[in-house]
Structure 1
Amino acid sequence: MPEWVYEFPPVDRLSPATSAAIHLVEHRSRDWHVRPGNAAVLLRTYRDFLRRPGRQLRLFTSPCPACPSCMYLDIAIVRDGLEAVAHALPLGPGSELRRLLGELDDEFRRRTQPDPRRWRDRSGRPPPWWHRRRYEDD
């Protein structure tokens, strides 16, 4: 791994090697979710959502899902971004990020409710589980 990637700040609570791998894939990727600095922002957004008061949380629909500044108001889109980062990483760093996401996902599942109306998307396929939770406007 190039030495310059270790000069970037750590990403969340991840090891220096995984943080470096994230910075490297963020600078090499063409995926919209995997761009420089985005993984740290997405993890912070996910944690902030889970820190909200109350026992049960509901997701918010983004008012403009195509807008880069608004799309991440929907926490399911944030989770899509984190999944894209995990998928872009090599096995070791990807496993470490997935372990962290597993802990956060457990809290997400515990504090949100499934929505039986969201079990299929427009194509008829089931979306990822984090899209099948109750939203505020339900």
Structure 2
Amino acid sequence: MPRSRPGALRAHLPVHPGWGPTPPFRIHGLSTRASRAVHRAELLGNSHWLHPGATEWALRRYREFLHPPGNRPLYPQAAFCSCTWCSFDDVRHARDVLEEALAQLPARARAELGRILKPLDAAFLRRTLPDPFAHRLQWRTEFWWYRRLSESSEWG
């Protein structure tokens, strides 16, 4: 019996196994390898906040918040809708998603995303003001970005 050609054997395999019909997008600022690791973590992770496309959206939102030029203080706004995409109106939620992504990523991709976040976090600290009443908040005080002044309080 003649041997099958390698191309004939591979013809029945999917083009990108595990990714569906197209490969994942590349996140701006990350390498292709790290972008694929992020996409894999979003697909296979068991987090409520981490879903396909959430890390890229959160990184874009975080950069957008810090983009206005000048030295005037910035105040994060609370999101009024808690649905998946509207909650990104609150930049602190975007930072939550990025923190969750860091926790889910392998070491190399985590380091690469961390290198992107380090100057953004420094700009966030520089452009926002500390909240003197942060110790009174009832939730999420363990994250430093919730201990900054915002336009609305936890109680409305």
* Secondary structure in structure 2 of the residue aligned to 1:116: coil
Supply the AA of the counterpart residue of 2:148. Answer: R
Q: 2:102 aligns with which of 86, 92, 96?
A: 86
Partner residue in 2 for 1:31: 47
Q: Is the helix fraction higher in 1 or 2? A: 1
Runs of 4+ displaced beyond 6 Å: none
The aligned residue for residue 117 of structure 2 is: 101
Corresponding residue pairs, total: 135
Equivalent residue, structure 1, for 2:91 = 75
**Matched residues, percent identical?**
35
Instruction: Compute the TM-score of the two structures, normalised by the length of structure 1.
Output: 0.86
Q: CA deviation at 1:128?
A: 0.5
Higher-Rg member (1/2):
2
1:48 has 2:64 as partner: yes
Structure 2 segments unaligned to the other structure (5+ residues): 1-15
Q: Do the aligned partners of 1:115 and 1:132 also contact (CA within 8 Å) in 2?
A: yes
TM-score by length of 2: 0.77
Q: Partners in 2 of 1:137 and 1:24 — Cα distance?
A: 35
**Which residue of 2 is the match for residue 61 of structure 1?**
78
The alignment status of 1:130 with 2:130, answered yes or no, reads no
* TM-fit CA distance, 1:136: 1.7
Counterpart of 1:118? 134
In angstroms, what is the RMSD of aligned CA positions?
Answer: 2.2
Report the Cα distance in structure 2 between the residues aligned to 1:9 and 1:94, rounded to whole angstroms.
18
Cα distance, 1:84 vs structure 2: 0.2
Q: Partners in 2 of 1:70 and 1:10 — Cα distance? A: 23
